[in-house]
Every structure is written in structure tokens, then in C-alpha cells.
Amino acid sequence: MKIPDKRCWAEVSPENLLHNYHVLRSSLPGGCRFLGVVKADAYGHGALETARLLEKAGADYLAVACLDEALELREGGVTMPVLILGHTDARYTALLIGNDITQAVTGLKEAEAFSAAAQSFGGTLRVHMAADTGMSRLGFLCTGAELERGAAQLARACRLPGLDAEGIFTHFAVSDEPGEENERYTREQFRLFTEAIARVEAAGFRFRLRHCANSGAVLHCLPETALDMVRPGLLLYGYGDDAGKLGLRPCMRLKTRVLTVKTYGPGTTVSYGRRYTTARETRMGVLGIGYADGLPRLCSNHFSVAFPGGTAPQRGSICMDMCMVDLSDLPDVQPGDEAEIFGPGADLNVLSRAAQTIPYELLCSVSKRVPRVWKNFD
């Protein structure tokens, strides 16, 4: 049964998602393709709905983290190209080919395993080679003294039977962090990437899709990194420190409701651990959102929620299903009224700092108890 008066919910705006897609798309060099990253349930927004919108809008590619996420899209009727960025065991090669899923290849051994599996039943697996240029995670190692060997292995992997090496990609470690040193590191990663590609091409192989630009690279004006395709996630959803400057809009608005209101005298302690004491007579509201919904307990006492008439500071430890806010300065707020935790009216970056984390983590943390409601913001 659907309860109409939800205690908390996440509104997701299709209008803002499409707006962001078109803004990002129009900033790309001519001919550059657009891959939308929809891993982790589209950063908590809902992968299937997001994928369907991007498909209709004309995006070229989608990316997910793992096979289950790719299959969810296929089972939901998404037919556009889908790339798995993470590791998949070669025993699933038939499933990949059967569902027309593109797989990242993270090293020569993995390439050989996919090749053997594909050949064993006469199929061809479409792959993108992952080059590790300084992230030190997945991919053929192409840093420093390893560049020559990495490029040679890439060239070998590309020619393996049963593989169609459509693309090659690398991932930046600090493209989203400001400062000269970070920019230098990103440029060096990009140099290693293009150098590795040049060596593979010198050996007579050409990739159709070379890509490396995540949100950070798109944002920090590294246009040469666009190559054949860009690969933004966070920016597509309108989040990150500088998203607003680009005219991007947040796609998710996390909302809750005032359950009850009570007035306490000064010196009253609030919630578990008694970590807040009222300094004055205080009109305290109880909100229907807690850490089990994805509101981190770490930001207890360190953030405010937004009401139409102003903001209310959160007080005391955040509980599993509820938390308290000081409504003394908002006398008109009554039980049943809606509050915004983050979204267009409450900056997710501020909440992230209060929780000592990054917007990515808070978006992904909105739990499955919280219904996603796809509707344009009013």
C-alpha cells in the first residue's frame, strides 16, 4: 500500500536532469560523445528512470559499476550502449555478449580470459581497455617506467580473438580538486594516457572511443581531455562545488515532514547522549528523517534544514528514524509542514562538509526506504 503522507522522500526532477544533460552536451567540442554515468542507482536518483531519460535525450553511452547494474538496465528495456566500468569475471562473458554489454578490461590476464571465453562459443565481446595512469586502481599500468610495458600489453590485448576493443579509457584521481599540484597531476595522467594510445596506434590499432573526462575534468576546463567522449557523473546530477557556476541544477531534493512540535524550557537536553541543551525556551520540531534514511549521524548539531520561511538548525543526535530541529524562529511552521534536507533550497555541499564527506557519498546514501518521486520541482 502507498501512504500518501510520507515521512521522508526524494523528489527527482526529470526537467533538471535533461537541463543538465543539454548544458553539458552543448559545452562539448563538436563530434564529442556523451556517456552518462548511472552507477550506484544513478548516484541514488534511480538508474532505470535516469537511463531512460538519457536514452530518449540522445546520450551516446551509459556506464555502470557492475554486471547486476547493467542487467537491470537491459531488463528495464534500455537498449543503448552500456559500459561496465568495474571488474567482471570472465565466466560471465556469455551473459555480457548476450545482453550486448560493453566490458572494461583491466589487464592482460583478464583480456586473455575474456578472449578465451568468447572464442569458446564463437562470440565477440565488445570491450574498453582500462589504462591506469595514476589512479592506482583498475587497468593496464601505464605510469612511469611501466608505460612501455603497459602500452605493449594493451596492443596485445586489443588484437586478441573474440574481443572487439572499441574503446580505451583512464580515470583521473584529482581532476575535481583545486590547486596547481592537482592540475599538474591530471595533466600528467592525460599525457600518459595519450602516450599509451599513441604507442598502441603506432602498432597499427585504432580505438574508436578514447575517453577520460569525468566531472572534474569537464568542470575544470580541460577541454583537450574530451577526446571522443566525456564521462560525467556528479555534474549530470547538478552537484559538486562549481555545478551552479555552470548553470547546472540539482536533480534531487530530499524532503521530510514535521511530525510533532513541543516547547521546552531552557536547560532541557535533547536526544540520545544528551548532546544538545536548550539555551532558552525552545520550540522544537521532530522531523521524520534519520540516519536509516541516509542522513549521517556525524552531522548531528552541525546543519540546518530549509523551510519556505527560513532555515532551522538541527539539534541533538540524529536518531535512526527522526531528528529534532529548533523552530523557535519559525513560529508558523506546524506539524505536517515539509522541510528540505538538501536540494535547490539547501546546499548539499554544506551538508557534506558537516558530515565530513563528499556529495557523492550523501547522494548514494539515501537509503532504499526513501521513495524516489520523479516530478519537476515547483
Active-site positions read 39, 272
Task: Give yes or no for a contact between 225 and 190, defined as CB atoms under 8 angstroms apart.
Answer: yes
Residue 171 or 315: the one with the smaller Cβ distance to ligand PLP is: 171
Residue 135 or 152: the one with the smaller Cβ distance to ligand PLP is: 135
Size of the residue set binding ligand PLP (CB under 6 A): 12
Under the binding rule (CB under 6 A), the answer on residue 167 touching ligand PLP is: no
**Which residues have C-beta within 8 Å of that of residue 284, sequence separation ≥ 6?**
261, 262, 263, 264, 270, 278, 315, 324, 325, 326, 327
Instruction: By CB under 6 A, name the one of 46, 81, 233, 359 that touches ligand PLP.
Output: 233
Selected range binding ligand PLP among 90-98, 232-240, 312-320, 324-332, rule: CB under 6 A: 232-240
Under the binding rule (CB under 6 A), the answer on residue 214 touching ligand PLP is: yes
Letters for 255-294 (x = contact with ligand PLP by CB under 6 A, - = none) are: ----------------------------------------
The distance of closest approach from Cβ of residue 358 to ligand PLP in the complex, given in angstroms and rounded to an integer, is: 10
Cα atoms found within 13 Å of the Cα of residue 328, Cβ hemisphere only: 13
Beta bridge partners of 9: 255
Instruction: By CB under 6 A, name the one of 33, 199, 231, 257 that touches ligand PLP.
Output: 231
Selected range binding ligand PLP among 5-13, 113-121, 208-216, 246-254, rule: CB under 6 A: 208-216
Residue 59 or 323: the one with the smaller Cβ distance to ligand PLP is: 59
Task: Give yes or no for a contact between 14 and 249, defined as CB atoms under 8 angstroms apart.
Answer: no
Instruction: State phi, psi for 298 to the nearest 5 degrees.
Output: -60, -25
Under the binding rule (CB under 6 A), the answer on residue 20 touching ligand PLP is: no
Helix (H, G, I), strand (E, B) or coil at 128: strand
Instruction: Output the CA–CA distances (angstroms, integers) from residue 237 to 26, 47, 101, in the order listed.
Output: 16, 12, 24
Under the binding rule (CB under 6 A), the answer on residue 105 touching ligand PLP is: no
Selected range binding ligand PLP among 22-30, 231-239, 280-288, 350-358, rule: CB under 6 A: 231-239
The distance of closest approach from Cβ of residue 171 to ligand PLP in the complex, given in angstroms and rounded to an integer, is: 4
Letters for 53-92 (x = contact with ligand PLP by CB under 6 A, - = none) are: --------------------------------x-------
- Between CA 210 and CA 153, with CA 80 as vertex, the angle to 5 degrees is 30
The distance of closest approach from Cβ of residue 346 to ligand PLP in the complex, given in angstroms and rounded to an integer, is: 21
**3-state per-residue secondary structure call for 254-308:** EEEEEEEEEEECCCCEECHHHCEECCCCEEEEEECCCHHHCCCHHHCCCCEEEEC
| Max CA pair span of the chain | 79
Under the binding rule (CB under 6 A), the answer on residue 50 touching ligand PLP is: no
Under the binding rule (CB under 6 A), the answer on residue 171 touching ligand PLP is: yes
Helix (H, G, I), strand (E, B) or coil at 76: coil
The Cα–Cα gap between 171 and 339 comes to 37
CB atoms within 10 A of CB 286: 18
Instruction: By CB under 6 A, name the one of 17, 24, 37, 67 that touches ligand PLP.
Output: 37
Which residue minimizes CB distance to ligand PLP? 233
**Which residues have C-beta within 8 Å of that of residue 109, sequence separation ≥ 6?**
none
Under the binding rule (CB under 6 A), the answer on residue 215 touching ligand PLP is: yes
Under the binding rule (CB under 6 A), the answer on residue 226 touching ligand PLP is: no
The distance of closest approach from Cβ of residue 176 to ligand PLP in the complex, given in angstroms and rounded to an integer, is: 6
The Cα–Cα gap between 325 and 165 comes to 55
Task: Give yes or no for a contact between 228 and 243, defined as CB atoms under 8 angstroms apart.
Answer: no
**Which residues have C-beta within 8 Å of that of residue 184, sequence separation ≥ 6?**
none
Under the binding rule (CB under 6 A), the answer on residue 33 touching ligand PLP is: no
Angle, helices 108-120/147-158, rounded to nearest 10 degrees: 10
Which residues are at the interface with ligand PLP (CB under 6 A)?
37, 39, 85, 171, 176, 214-216, 231-234
